[in-house]
Structure 1
Amino acid sequence: MFTNQWRRCALLCLLLASACASAQDQDAERLRIHGSNTIGRDLMPALVDAWLRSLGFIQIQRRDINAALTELHATRDGLPLIVEIEKKGSGLGFADLVEGQAELAMMAQPLTARQLEDGWQLGDLHSPEQEFVLALDGLAVVVNEASPLRALSTQQLAAILDGRITRWSQLGGADLPLDVHSDGASSGTRDFIRQRLLAGAQVRRPIIGHAELAQAAQAVSKDPSALALVGLDTPLPANVRALPVSDTGIAVAPDPVGVGSEDYPLTRRYVLRGGPLMSALGRSLALYAVGSAGQRAVQQAGYRSLRLRQVDGTGTPDPRTPYGEAVAGATRLPLSLRFNLGSLTTYFESRSAGDMERVVAFMREPANRGRKLVVAAFTNDDPGNRLVPTMVSNERADIVAGHLIREGIPVVRALGLGGSRPLASSATEAGRVRNERVELWLQ
């Protein structure tokens, strides 16, 4: 009898505890973050956890409600908070932002023209106040060391994926079938391939799928006629190399400078977007994510952060050119400053606005005191007037140099090099934005 009473008492206590927890959850303030599964799976929970701890929250618990919903529960000063991370895709996350069902949208792809139209009431969605670049990711194209192929264009890669190129002879190699390896058909890698290279269309050729991208790279190490699409951080066997890729401009390797600057064309951003009237908590999280502590959390979670560091072994241009002469003996920093020329509030696009702050902080580190910068600017070519691109690029180099000098950072030279090194075709808006950039070189 005593045992039965004890069991009833224990059951009652459990029910009361559950009811109290449920009531507490109902009373809790809730921050809703919706969007990309790629970001929401691991990166966003890690960022939210670090942010909560930085604010003094305790009793932090991660609850995976279902495959599409994760919640982080925490308390501070006895008040509960729930951060809701819903992972149903970038498009649905942005739609929820527009409709007021989410305060922040996680996006692993650029905004489309339709999304910009749908979100017109949200203001300048590309401003640093509403667009927060969390991390970088992308795709590497790898081949066997025995392959004669030294570079590939995005147009050639698209032709491989839609079935127009099926043999190496079409790329200047031997008359052998071209086998493509990657991971599973439902992966984020395949989604990026469709969005970046095939304008959203399906891949039309067979791809040999592997459970892990490292296995795809291993397959290439054993087959000189194979090509693989892998992650930027996928470990490569000794006899496998990543190809530089061009997008109608110069070919760029997926090395730390190529990816960090986003000059490499198969780089993508992981972004948080918010509206103009974010709550104090929402803006706090977004600003934390792009700040130094948040970027450390990004790196610790295994992603490519925007933390600025010197990269050894970067290539230098031909010293016989004005570009090569200007940067001789210097090392390029892994960034490219770009502009938001349509904004009324800022000169730089969102990531570059933060990069300027990161550059100043980097140059003030004890290890860099006494070091100097070279500023080199590029713009789009104008076949009808060669003088205009040089004037425009000189103006932008001077603007960046002036900002750095006002912050006490020494600049030894600032020059504009016009349209001499295009990354992409200037026939599209996206191409023009990529070409209009400023490089910083550390002496």
Structure 2
Amino acid sequence: MSLPSAALASEITLQSTDGTLKFVGEFIDFQDDHYIIKTNLGNISIGSAGVTCAGDACPDLAAAEAQPAAQPAAPAEFVSGPVTLQSFDGALKFEGELIAITDGNYIVRTQLGDLQIQTNSVTCEGEPCPKVDVASLEPAQEEELKPRDVDDIRVTLTSFDGDLKFVGDLVDITNGKYVIRTNLGELRVSASTVSCEGPACPAVGGEILETAQADDSAPIEINYTISGSELIGENMMPLLMSGYAASKNAAVKMTDQPEQGGAVASLIGDNGNGDNLGSYLVASTSTEQAFQALLAGEAQIAMASRRIRPYEVQLLQNAGAGDIDGADQERVIALDNLVIVTHPDNAIAQISTEDLKGIYSGLITNWSQLGGSDAPINVLTMAPETASRSFFEERIFDGKGAGKNNRQTVVESDADMAAQVQADPNAIGYVGYAFQTGTKPVTLVNACGIPSVPDAFSAKTEEYLLSRRLYLYNRADNLDAEAAQFLEYAVSENADAMIAKSGFINLDVARRTQSETDARAVSLENTKAGTRAEQNAISEMLAEMAQHDRLSTTFRFRMGSSRMDEKARDELPRLVQYLKDLPEGTEVTLVGFTDSVGLFNKNQSLSISRASQVLNEINTAAEGSLNGLNFKVMGFGPLAPSTCNDTDDGRALNRRVEIWIRKGQASG
């Protein structure tokens, strides 16, 4: 029996009675004694037996009728594609892309990474499910763990938004993933997406001791000053300091020190019981003031929510600060999406940038003008001096401002914006990536009709229209060894978990399946070819997409130069490490693209040449460590643009090299 559903997107929390599993998501339906909820793992079906439900949308179980347990699905021969894996007791259900069956395990790709689930612990539904007796795929006997108290190896992995929780025995930490043994077999979860609790967990973040209000008469001796963007200084820097402290077996004591210009992060050795290892003043001001502080020599490190401008580079070079936009002084540490959000009940799923401009300029005032309900649009915006509003208006209004619109309501923070959108069915606003929970994120469609989804993968590829890079800069003449060590930590894989925990998007390499239903594939199908060469290239690209997954690492180049831009340069070591962990013989294809200026044949040749250039860069950085992989290069010229080709910035985004991996070849 199916119970009447509460409003779509109403949030519920399901908790197992033993407390080992917790799922938070949008309630979809209740069928066959199972809750169906939407999470970032996809739709998950969880049996009502053994779990409690909390939330206004929880159904009345007294109205449910008992249903017989579902029978295991008929096995099928392995092919890559979407599957549903369900535990035999029906209590847990996972949906994802089956990419391999190896060593008695299904490897399923999800937004939390590749999950490894034993074939003999679940049923499999879907075309890719094997048409063989799964008993023949039973895993070999695993090597026994060293004798330890079970409490020593029991860990709890929780997603940073708190929506997902896994409890099991920690088996290994390998290739940036926690491997835990649960009643579903071994699960592999990316360490950059979850926090780990338990004695066996590695130290990825030092303790942040209670924030204290300083005694104005006793200023703290400052060893280093980090100045700039409030977005980074208040939301990310304390956690980065925490992670850096952990790498030095220390804890962080945060002290508000307004007389000295900000908050002071003091590193206390011996996990908070030892000596002061150094104090960092974190002055949260603005990006513009960050570069002024560097210019005056008042800061060693600058935090910036945009790239340094040419005139700022010149001023700093003239002042003896060095090559400020060079590899040793400019670092991309994270990404952020400014997400357009509406109430979860709003029927509008996507908005064009032109319509968004109309909403914020006061020309579009009713949702019915966009195909929605007949209701006024309640427009929310940030205060004029905030970085988010400046970035929003720069991207949507080309830096010219939104004009006077007296119908806008100004809010003070992302949290306030999200709360007001959740409370108002007719509201629209914009928030940082970390604050979209509980609202409905909206897909943006640019002037060329290309949609962009505000998810983490699109931020990493820089194909979301309101994605931005976050930077750290330093002078060359006043940076000592200790501050340099902090910068090295901030751009390392060790900092990824802290960046994700702070709500930003780290530079960890992600992998996504490409299919014929993807927006890019659909757009490519509808592309009108002008020449036979274009038509052949379209057919070839669609065929190759069906056979390959795409990595988030995307190489772009500085304007008018063959040099990689700063993000590509910083991501190269991460890509090399990711490729090292792939099985020997994996096929890796570098796929080049160009802008639309010039003839198709010439652009296709240019895109192949650019892909070959990136392959040379990879091989140089790898120093022979990737000889076991099979590399190919391809190029499709101006096909499948990321954005419009009508501006210099747009053309620069379209000149890129992507990394594709043959389907069915799992990551390490």
Q: Is the pair's TM-score, using the shorter chain for normalization, greater than 0.5?
A: yes
TM-score with structure 2 setting the length: 0.55
How far did 1:311 drift? 4.0
Matched to 1:163, the amino acid is: G
Q: Is the 8 A contact 1:213 1:231 kept in 2?
A: no
How far did 1:92 drift? 0.4
Aligned to 2:332: 133
Q: Is the 8 A contact 2:459 2:505 kept in 1?
A: no
TM-aligned CA distance change 1:164 to 1:276, over 3 Å = farther
Aligned to 1:361: 577
Greater mean deviation of Cα atoms: 355-364 or 160-169: 160-169
TM-aligned CA distance change 1:38 to 1:248, over 3 Å = same
Measure the CA separation in 1 of the matches of 2:347 and 2:299: 50
How far did 1:290 drift? 0.7
Q: Is the 8 A contact 1:104 1:274 kept in 2?
A: yes
How far did 1:172 drift? 6.1
Query: Do residues 105 (structure 1) and 298 (structure 2) align?
Result: no
Quote the RMSD (CA, aligned, Å): 3.5
Q: Is the 8 A contact 2:233 2:283 kept in 1?
A: yes
Task: Please give the secondary structure, in 2, of the residue aligned with 1:109.
Answer: coil
How far did 1:71 drift? 0.9
How far did 1:43 drift? 0.8
How far did 1:39 drift? 0.6
Q: Is the 8 A contact 2:241 2:252 kept in 1?
A: no
TM-aligned CA distance change 1:283 to 1:257, over 3 Å = same
Matched to 1:372, the amino acid is: E
Aligned to 2:417: 213
Aligned to 1:255: 455
| Aligned counterpart in structure 2 of residue 298 of structure 1, from 487, 499, 519 | 499
Aligned to 2:634: 415
| Aligned counterpart in structure 1 of residue 230 of structure 2, from 14, 31, 37 | 37
How far did 1:38 drift? 1.1
Matched to 2:640, the amino acid is: R
TM-aligned CA distance change 1:191 to 1:66, over 3 Å = farther
Query: Do residues 374 (structure 1) and 578 (structure 2) align?
Result: no
Task: Please give the secondary structure, in 2, of the residue aligned with 1:164.
Answer: coil
Greater mean deviation of Cα atoms: 401-410 or 94-103: 401-410
Q: Is the 8 A contact 1:262 1:335 kept in 2?
A: no
TM-score with structure 1 setting the length: 0.80
Q: Is the 8 A contact 2:441 2:454 kept in 1?
A: no
Measure the CA separation in 2 of the matches of 1:313 and 1:390: 22
Task: Please give the secondary structure, in 2, of the residue aligned with 1:333.
Answer: strand
Measure the CA separation in 2 of the matches of 1:232 and 1:169: 27
Task: Please give the secondary structure, in 2, of the residue aligned with 1:212.
Answer: helix
Measure the CA separation in 2 of the matches of 1:245 and 1:219: 26
Q: Does 1 or 2 have the higher relative contact order (CA < 8 Å, sep 6+)?
A: 1
TM-aligned CA distance change 1:202 to 1:414, over 3 Å = same
Measure the CA separation in 1 of the matches of 2:451 and 2:387: 24
Query: Do residues 267 (structure 1) and 467 (structure 2) align?
Result: yes
| Aligned counterpart in structure 2 of residue 179 of structure 1, from 351, 357, 378 | 378
Measure the CA separation in 1 of the matches of 2:307 and 2:369: 32
Unaligned runs of 5+ in 2: 1-214, 526-537, 663-668
Q: Is the 8 A contact 1:256 1:334 kept in 2?
A: no
Greater mean deviation of Cα atoms: 268-277 or 209-218: 209-218
TM-aligned CA distance change 1:135 to 1:247, over 3 Å = farther
TM-aligned CA distance change 1:50 to 1:148, over 3 Å = closer
Query: Do residues 72 (structure 1) and 265 (structure 2) align?
Result: yes
How far did 1:241 drift? 4.8
Matched to 1:401, the amino acid is: L
Measure the CA separation in 2 of the matches of 1:40 and 1:201: 26
Task: Please give the secondary structure, in 1, of the residue aligned with 2:451.
Answer: coil
TM-aligned CA distance change 1:411 to 1:123, over 3 Å = farther
Greater mean deviation of Cα atoms: 312-321 or 95-104: 312-321
Matched to 2:572, the amino acid is: M
Aligned to 2:613: 399
Aligned to 1:157: 356
Task: Please give the secondary structure, in 2, of the residue aligned with 1:271.
Answer: strand
Task: Please give the secondary structure, in 2, of the residue aligned with 1:328.
Answer: helix
Work out the percentage of aligned pairs sharing the same amino acid.
24
How far did 1:385 drift? 2.8
Q: Is the 8 A contact 2:351 2:445 kept in 1?
A: yes
Measure the CA separation in 1 of the matches of 2:258 and 2:580: 46
Measure the CA separation in 1 of the matches of 2:288 and 2:574: 30
Task: Please give the secondary structure, in 2, of the residue aligned with 1:421.
Answer: coil
Query: Do residues 54 (structure 1) and 247 (structure 2) align?
Result: yes
Task: Please give the secondary structure, in 2, of the residue aligned with 1:306.
Answer: coil
TM-aligned CA distance change 1:374 to 1:141, over 3 Å = same
Task: Please give the secondary structure, in 2, of the residue aligned with 1:317.
Answer: helix
TM-aligned CA distance change 1:241 to 1:351, over 3 Å = closer
Aligned residues: 413
Measure the CA separation in 2 of the matches of 1:301 and 1:200: 31
Matched to 2:634, the amino acid is: L
Query: Do residues 322 (structure 1) and 540 (structure 2) align?
Result: yes
Measure the CA separation in 1 of the matches of 2:409 and 2:218: 49
Measure the CA separation in 2 of the matches of 1:116 and 1:167: 45
Unaligned runs of 5+ in 1: 1-17
Measure the CA separation in 2 of the matches of 1:291 and 1:269: 16
Aligned to 1:388: 602
How far did 1:247 drift? 5.7
